[in-house]
């Protein structure tokens, strides 16, 4: 079941609809979110950052279970959090602060694992790479930075380098409004939008700018086609522009180089976009409070959802393993048990006494997928204690050694996966660079 969740900058709650049937599901109350502040945590529950007053010096985060309209868990970070995301399996939540700091919390325990100063001004958007190994951040300072989580959690390497980021892209001249990333892990492309009216396409493997697209209006939202042929840019003039990623626009096009068309049905600014690969559907949110579902093949609107009030500033598509009604009926016999299923609140500060021992990370590869994820040593220590209670200390020691060996094998496998990604993407990137070189020589 694919559901669409959407929130607003005013207290209009979170709307939820079945994408296939259009039926409205449960509406979640008491939510006033900043842009990019709404996320689904491992498809298990909803999380959203809250900013009641833009000038406030503090904020909070809320959790909702799928089957109850009221927020059940409230956290108070050290500063207002604007963008909020979770990694693919919901093990970690990452938030961007108004000061330019980035925070990483462990969902299961609520512990603050890492915090570092990432930008000179407030963080505006965050996105994980497909394999969760990289974190990309955008800021009001106009900078886009790429962070390797292996570097962030490696205390030894952190002391040996002059900066933590892998790349720092500084070509935008104004605030970064949105970032999307393609497929391919460390070799994917990044598309960033800014208030300078440009969208820029970056290569992660080359660490350089591939394409600069200038738009007639400021772009606040972008979404990329899964085939990576085009990307969609929602603008403040009410249009959704279609820009080519690896083809030129013809001289007769009206909008400019690389812009090959547009979708339009509204005059209000487009504030957010989301792409559903199932059915090739593009969802757009607008300041008029409407969510429009576009069939990208026919460029027609197939369905519209209305938020309760206020402009829509976040749209997230979530694939749930069961209908919401089924989850609610299962929770009714034991509502107390269901409430306890949500994780504890997020810590405001890291535990300095345990930071050196417990806030380190161990890299593991889950059995179900071949992509790396992260598990803190705190949870592994708890697992070892359970083994000690169930059996002898010798058995626990053997299990600890096995976990360390698994960690080493996971690191080796990750390096192999990274080489595979390099080979898969290098050809495409080189082709695009060669094309640009040829065009430059023709122009000369």
| pLDDT digit string, tens, across residues 78-89 | 999 999 999 999
* Residue 418 and residue 186 in contact, taking contact as beta carbons nearer than 8 Å: yes
303 with 393, same domain: the answer is no
Of 111, 121, 106, 122, the closest CA to residue 35 belongs to 122
Collapsing DSSP to helix, strand or coil, 93 comes out as: strand
User: Sign of dihedral through CA atoms 212, 215, 218, 222?
Assistant: negative
Pick from 158-162, 172-176, 410-414: least confident:
410-414
Burial class (CB in 10 A: 0-12, 13-18, 19+), 425: buried
Q: Please give the structure tokens belonging to residue 123.
A: 């963080």
**Given this model, what pLDDT does residue 347 score?**
94
15 with 143, same domain: the answer is yes
**Which pLDDT band holds residue 248 (cuts at 50, 70, 90)?**
low
**Given this model, what pLDDT does residue 138 score?**
98
305 with 420, same domain: the answer is no
Q: What is the CATH number of the domain that holds 186?
A: 2.130.10.10
pTM above 0.85, yes or no: no
Q: Give residue 422's domain range.
A: 377-430
Instruction: Give whichever of 123-127, 355-359, 412-416 has the largest mean pLDDT.
Output: 123-127
**Which pLDDT band holds residue 277 (cuts at 50, 70, 90)?**
confident
Does some domain include residue 372?
no
Does some domain include residue 258?
yes
Query: What percent of the chain lies above the pLDDT cut of 90?
Result: 55
102 with 246, same domain: the answer is yes
Q: State mean pLDDT over 120-145.
A: 96
Q: What are the E-state strand segments in 122-218?
A: 123-128, 134-139, 144-148, 165-169, 176-181, 189-194, 198-203, 208-214
284 with 413, same domain: the answer is no
82 with 214, same domain: the answer is yes
Does some domain include residue 48?
yes
12 with 104, same domain: the answer is yes
Does some domain include residue 170?
yes
């Amino acid at each position: 079941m694919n559901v669409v969740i959407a929130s607003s900058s005013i207290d209009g709650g979170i709307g939820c609809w079945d994408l296939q049937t259009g039926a409205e599901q449960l509406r979640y109350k008491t939510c006033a979110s900043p842009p990019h502040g709404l996320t689904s945590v491992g498809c298990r529950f909803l999380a959203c950052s809250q900013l009641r007053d833009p000038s406030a010096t503090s904020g909070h985060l809320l959790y909702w279970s799928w089957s109850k309209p009221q927020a059940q868990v409230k956290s108070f970070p050290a500063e207002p959090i604007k963008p909020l995301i979770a990694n693919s399996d919901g093990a970690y939540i990452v938030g961007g602060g108004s000061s330019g700091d980035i925070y990483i919390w462990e969902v299961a325990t609520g512990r603050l694992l890492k915090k570092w100063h990432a930008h000179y001004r407030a963080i505006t958007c965050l996105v994980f790479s497909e394999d969760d190994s990289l974190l990309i951040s955008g800021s009001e300072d106009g900078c886009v930075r790429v962070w390797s989580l292996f570097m962030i959690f490696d205390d030894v390497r952190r002391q040996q380098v002059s900066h933590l980021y892998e790349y720092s892209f500084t070509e935008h001249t104004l605030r970064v409004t949105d970032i999307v990333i393609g497929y391919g892990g460390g070799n994917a492309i990044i598309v960033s939008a800014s208030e300078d009216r440009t969208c820029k396409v970056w290569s992660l493997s080359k660490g350089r700018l591939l394409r600069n697209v200038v738009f007639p209006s400021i772009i606040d939202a972008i979404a990329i086609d899964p085939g990576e042929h085009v990307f969609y840019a929602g603008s403040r003039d009410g249009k959704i522009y279609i820009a080519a990623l690896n083809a030129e626009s013809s001289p007769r096009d009206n909008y400019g180089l690389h812009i090959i068309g547009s979708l339009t049905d509204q005059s209000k600014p487009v504030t957010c976009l989301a792409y559903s690969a199932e059915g090739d559907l593009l969802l757009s949110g607008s300041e008029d409070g409407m969510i429009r579902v576009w069939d990208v093949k026919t460029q027609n609107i197939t369905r519209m959802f209305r938020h309760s009030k206020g402009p829509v500033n976040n749209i997230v598509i979530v694939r749930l393993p069961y209908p919401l009604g089924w989850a609610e009926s299962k929770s009714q016999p034991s509502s107390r048990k269901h409430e306890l299923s949500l994780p504890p609140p997020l810590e405001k500060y890291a535990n300095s006494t345990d930071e050196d021992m417990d806030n380190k990370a161990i890299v593991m590869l889950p059995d179900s997928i071949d992509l790396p994820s992260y598990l803190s040593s705190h949870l592994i220590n708890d697992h070892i204690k359970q083994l000690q209670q169930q059996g002898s200390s010798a058995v626990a020691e053997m299990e600890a050694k096995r976990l360390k060996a698994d960690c080493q094998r996971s690191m080796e496998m990750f390096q192999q996966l990274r080489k595979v990604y390099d080979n898969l993407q290098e050809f495409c990137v080189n082709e695009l660079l060669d094309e640009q070189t040829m065009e430059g020589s023709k122009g000369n």
